[in-house]
Amino acid sequence: MGLYSFSEDINGKYSEIEEDLNRRLEKILAQEVKLKSNEAKAELFDNYVENTASLSKAMERNENTIKILEMTKARLRSKSTFSPLETVLKKACINYKKNPSFPPQDDTERQS
């Protein structure tokens, strides 16, 4: 019985230590999971901040592009203003083609 009680004492002592180590290990594993979760959240937040920054830069570029397009549009509009003289000249050309001031010559008249 002495040997049996001795082995029971040793087994009991080490099983208590083993249980304590298992509890500590579980706590450490839980902390690691929590830390990984926090790291993932931090990475998501960093990505969000970067995307927001790039989004604001893109919006600024778009606004500048719109301004440039509006200025170009205004310049083109000022260059293509309506001129009544052009219309009068076009009508005169059309009328001249319909009724030229010189009658067309026949090939026979040109040879003589």
- For the stretch 24-79, pLDDT in tens is 999 999 999 898 888 888 888 887 877 777 878 888 888 989 999 998 888 887 76
**Does residue 99 have a pLDDT over 90?**
no
Tell me the one-letter amino acid at 50: E
Residue 106 lies in a domain: no
**Does 105 map to a domain?**
no
Q: Is residue 71 part of a domain?
A: yes
Residue 27 lies in a domain: yes
pLDDT at 15: 87
User: What value, to the nearest 5°, has the Cα angle with vertex 62 and ends 57 and 65?
Assistant: 125
Show contacts of 78-85: CB within 8 Å, 24+ apart. Answer: none
Task: Decide if 46 is inside a domain.
Answer: yes
Number of residues that make up the chain = 112
pTM confidence score: 0.37
Domain that residue 65 falls in: 2-100
User: pLDDT over 70 for what percent of the chain?
Assistant: 80
How far is Cα 78 from Cα 73, in angstroms, rounded to an integer? 9
Q: Give ∠ CA 43-46-52 in degrees, rounded to 5.
A: 140
The domain tally of the chain equals 1
* Residue at 91 is within a domain: yes
For residue 25, the model assigns a pLDDT of 92
Confidence (pLDDT) at 54: 80
pLDDT (average), residues 80-97: 76
Whether residue 10 is contained in a domain is answered as yes
User: What are the helix and strand counts (H, E) for the chain?
Assistant: 3, 0
Alpha carbon distance 60, 57 (integer Å): 5
pLDDT of residue 112: 47
Evaluate whether residue 48 is within a structural domain: yes
